[in-house]
């Protein structure tokens, strides 16, 4: 059995449900166009991986993307609970190193994910810092449920708070390159290839 698992959290494509902060500026249709492009980027990246792959949809399984991949539906109320359940299910199935990513990173590469899996051989946790203070990637080699509990999701101090907690518990962790996900029009403008899709 492959000991490595990569989980991708994907939102089902519905107007008003994807890239909501961005949609306030560019409209729902344009936000969907951008999100579809980001999904394509993420799918291309994950198909280069040798680890097992699981695509976790927000509401229902979509057979139009990630053909021939294992798929599931996220379980839980808030983001933290859904992430915690995804990791716990993976460990319950016998995986030793699990990485979870979102699907809105223009600069994500297979190297980022593989580097995270490699760091999990010597660390309990790994994070890919996002420029907004959160993280675009989280990986665990042992379940640490508190990471997902009582956290300020979408706040600028999320990662700082999480790493402080790990330090207090003396849990070894590593970090990867900082990347920028696309949440606002300012983020989008930094990626001309994507911006031209709606301009």
Domains of the chain, earliest start first: 4-195 (3.90.550.10)
Entry pTM: 0.96
The pLDDT tens digits of the residues spanning 123-178 come to 999 999 999 899 999 999 999 999 999 898 878 899 999 999 999 999 999 999 99
pLDDT in tens, 87-134: 999 999 999 999 999 998 999 999 999 999 999 999 999 999 999 899
pLDDT band at residue 79 under the 50/70/90 scheme: very high
Task: Check if the beta carbon of residue 16 is closer than 8 Å to that of residue 109.
Answer: no
**What is the distance between the alpha carbons of residues 34 and 57, in angstroms, rounded to a whole number?**
18
């Amino acid at each position: 059995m492959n000991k490595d698992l990569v989980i991708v959290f994907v939102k089902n494509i519905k107007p008003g449900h994807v890239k909501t902060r961005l949609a306030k500026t560019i409209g729902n249709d344009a936000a969907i166009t951008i999100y579809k492009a980001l999904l394509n980027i993420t799918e291309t990246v994950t198909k280069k991986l040798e680890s097992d792959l699981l695509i976790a949809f927000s509401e229902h399984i979509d057979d139009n993307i990630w053909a021939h991949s294992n798929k599931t539906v996220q379980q839980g109320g808030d983001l933290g609970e859904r992430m915690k359940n995804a990791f716990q299910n993976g460990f319950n199935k016998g995986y030793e190193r699990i990485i979870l990513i979102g699907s809105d990173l223009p600069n994500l590469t297979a190297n980022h994910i593989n580097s995270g899996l490699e760091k999990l051989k010597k660390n309990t946790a790994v994070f890919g810092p996002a420029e907004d203070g959160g993280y675009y990637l989280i990986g665990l080699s042992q379940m640490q449920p508190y990471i997902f509990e009582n956290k300020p999701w979408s706040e600028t101090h999320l990662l700082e708070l999480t790493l402080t907690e790990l330090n207090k518990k003396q849990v070894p962790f590593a970090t990867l390159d900082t990347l920028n996900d696309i949440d606002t029009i300012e983020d989008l403008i930094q990626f001309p290839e994507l911006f031209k899709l709606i301009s």
